[in-house]
Amino acid sequence: MEPLLAQELKDLGAQGVRPARAGVAFRGPVRLAYAVCLWSRTASRVIYPLARFHASDQQGLYEGVYQIPWEEHLDKGGTLAVDFTGTNEEIKHTGFAARKVKDAIVDRFRDLTGVRPSVDTDQPDIRINVRLRTDRVAVNLDLSGESLHRRGYRVHAGNAPLKQNLAAAILLFSDWAAIARRGGPFIDPMCGSGTLPIEAALLASDTAPGLTRDYFGFLGWLGHDAQAWYDLLAEAKERSRVGKEKLPAILGFDTNPSMIRAAQQNCIQAGLEGYIHFKEGEALEVQPTREGRGLLAFNPPYGERQGTVAGLQPLYRALGEVVRFRFVDWHRTVFTGLPNAAKALGVTPKKSTTLYNGPLACSLLSFLPDIRPERQISHSAHTQVEMFANRLKKNHKQLRRWLKKEGVSCYRLYDADMPEYAMAVDIYERWVHVQEYQAPDTIDPEKARDRLNAALSVIPSVLDLPADNLFLKVRRKRSGGSQYGKMDQRGVQREVREGGLKFLVNLSDYLDTGLFLDHAPTRRIIRQKAMGRRFLNLFGYTGASSVYAADGGAVETMTVDLSNTYLNWARQNMALNGFEGSAHTFISADCLGWVERCHSRFGLIFLDPPTFSNSKSMSDTFDLQRDHGALIRSVVTLLEPGGELIFSNNLQRFKMDDSWIDSTLTLTEITDQTFDPDFKRNRKIHNCWHIQKK
């Protein structure tokens, strides 16, 4: 689970993320530690290092712990608990060692104040975690207080319940987040006390898994920042409220009526009453829903605590029939500790991942939708998909000479050229990135899905690429205008080349890959103009324009963006091309406010703002059409004499407000100069202007 946790930490803004065995190290402020406790779906504990020292025996352990300024962390009348792990030749009993640690802390308080704290093993003000390895001692605060898998909603458990963070990991590995965003339903035909459906609803509704907990280890800590915690809770509650309005269908079935009642009670405790439907039913009789294709996930018994291995063979054979035939066009996930489970099911998984359920190694078997257009679509649909395939071939033929002459390997091959196939097909060297534009409400969802599946089945063959090299996303209107919403957790990142430079693209997790292909000509213009100049990249995204500026000879680059995720990505892109050091800086800030505070001057600026933003990290909302004049007026003040500003945006009906222009500035629209042949079919994708200061 470490890769999943590492990605969660990066998404929350953590620095120095380093996966290790059974844990992930990271750096950040206290507020970030709170956010991990609240938002991590896979972590068990959040450990804050206090001290490191050497101790070969019990006296050395006592003295080392005594030296720590515990009065900075715990009130003299507070409560504590100590967890101790590890032994050596002199310290052989962890329970006795824990008491030695407790004695050292209590004695320090008694010596300093005359009052001693007391022990509370259930919910202490602070929980101290001590780890011993040979003679090295690590003393930490457990900010989580108790394992984060205890979400607080499980009031009833079955005979063999999954830990909640393990259930979340199963869903993350199964691409449930992306399936839910597409409106796909979720079914667990063997739900027990409801852990998988509840975790599925929490994930799909953007509900923080720690929102139902009433105890964390930092609440009684003297270093606690109550306002930061209050702000995080308020934000999480609002995100959950909004997310629940868009939840797809989530269903759980079980043959045991007492388990269904337990699942319903747990669902209520999780704040999800009415959002998940639990029904008594036989797993082998569950049918796909009318809402479309989604995720079927279940955790059948595997003989460890329920039944025997031999006695489970008939059940697994029957479940295999359900997986193979009834839900053939769904994503399917089976989590089991049964040896040779895939053989017992009679189905070969697309992928098998080993996860541990306690000490037991289990297999997470993943099956992708089996879409076979020759069996599932009509003759007219076949004709249409042949026309789509021919259009791909025609477009490639038209672009071939340009691709070869310019050495282009990343380009747009198709952009909704046929109304029946409203999608964009982008090529990133050996990979295909498909964005399906959301169909209007007048289009039958089943027909739209059939067309999409048919298209996806022919793209790899037309391009002579493996099907695994194709990645699909659905481009929907996003609430709030945020460009940073995450769609997935797979982290499929690849290195590609453009203009002789290297870039990292993420083909799975975000709506945009990290390299806007339509801006390739604009980036070349920036490279041509950068020599000897200080370059500023506002709303810098993944820093591609900064890389081009540095390659063009800029003496300094400065990349400003609100997202730490994208700034880290920009640093990687710059480093990938050898541009490192103090000449290249990255600033995490609201660009609007930062421009007002900036007193530096630049010879070249690239400004590519979002169409709309109401990020909570910004002081106000931003509307491009309404606010662009004021924004440009502020930005041009940062230009040195003779300096140039490239202003670009993606608003199709954008109209330039030129009231900000004065006698010191010239404005020229250069949109037509910023399209390569692959984007000349759709000139509404962006607008671009050149502004120069006399």
Could you please report the per-residue DSSP string of 587-614? EES-HHHHHHH----EEEEEE---SEE-
The yes-or-no verdict on residue 485 having pLDDT over 60 is no
637 and 583 share one domain: yes
Q: Tell me how far apart the alpha carbons of residues 433 and 487 are, in angstroms, rounded to a whole number.
A: 14
End position of a domain, from candidates 367, 402, 419: 367
- Contact indicator for 98, 84 with CB cutoff of 8 Å: yes
- Residue 672 token pair: 């037509």
- Residue 658 token pair: 């030129």
End position of a domain, from candidates 476, 501, 533: 476
Share of the chain above pLDDT 90, in %: 68
CA triple 636-638-640, angle to 5 deg: 95
The yes-or-no verdict on residue 532 having pLDDT over 50 is yes
Higher-scoring residue by pLDDT: 550, 292: 550
CATH number at residue 465: 3.30.750.80
Instruction: Count Cβ atoms below 10 Å from residue 113 Cβ, excluding itself.
Output: 13
Segment 569-583 shows an average pLDDT of 96
Measured N-to-C along each axis, helices 257-269 and 195-204 cross at an angle, to the nearest 10 degrees, of 30
Residue 99 domain flag = no
Tally of residues, the chain: 694
Segment 652-657 shows an average pLDDT of 90
Per-residue pLDDT of 399-413, as tens digits, reads 999 999 999 999 999
300 and 396 share one domain: no
CATH number at residue 515: 3.40.50.150
- Contact indicator for 516, 679 with CB cutoff of 8 Å: no
What letters, b where the CB count within 10 A reaches 16 and e where it falls short, cover 635-670?
Answer: bbebbeeebbbbbbbbbeeeebeeebbeeebeeeeb
Q: Tell me how far apart the alpha carbons of residues 661 and 150 are, in angstroms, rounded to a whole number.
A: 59
Phi, psi angles (nearest 5°) of residue 467: -60, -30
Least confident of 9-18, 487-496, 506-515, 554-563: 487-496
Average pLDDT, the chain: 89
- Contact indicator for 285, 217 with CB cutoff of 8 Å: no
Segment 76-84 shows an average pLDDT of 95
Per-residue pLDDT of 188-226, as tens digits, reads 999 999 999 999 999 999 999 999 999 999 999 999 999
R_g of the chain, CA atoms, integer Å: 29
The DSSP string of 546-602 is HHHHHHTT-SEEEEEES-HHHHHHHHHHHHHTT--STTEEEEES-HHHHHHH----E
Segment 427-432 shows an average pLDDT of 93
615 and 655 share one domain: yes
Per-residue pLDDT of 306-353, as tens digits, reads 445 556 777 888 888 888 778 888 999 999 988 888 888 888 888 899
Per-residue pLDDT of 262-318, as tens digits, reads 999 999 999 999 999 999 988 888 888 877 789 999 999 876 444 455 567 778 888
- Contact partners, residue 267, CB within 8 Å, separation at least 6: 153, 194, 197, 198, 273, 275, 276, 278
The residue range of the domain holding 275 is 164-209+243-367
204 and 353 share one domain: yes
What letters, b where the CB count within 10 A reaches 16 and e where it falls short, cover 606-616?
Answer: bbbbbebbebe
H/E segment holding residue 355 = strand 351-357
pTM reported for the whole predicted model: 0.57
Residue 118 domain flag = no
- Contact indicator for 222, 74 with CB cutoff of 8 Å: yes
End position of a domain, from candidates 309, 336, 367: 367
Query: What's the number of domains the chain is made of?
Result: 3
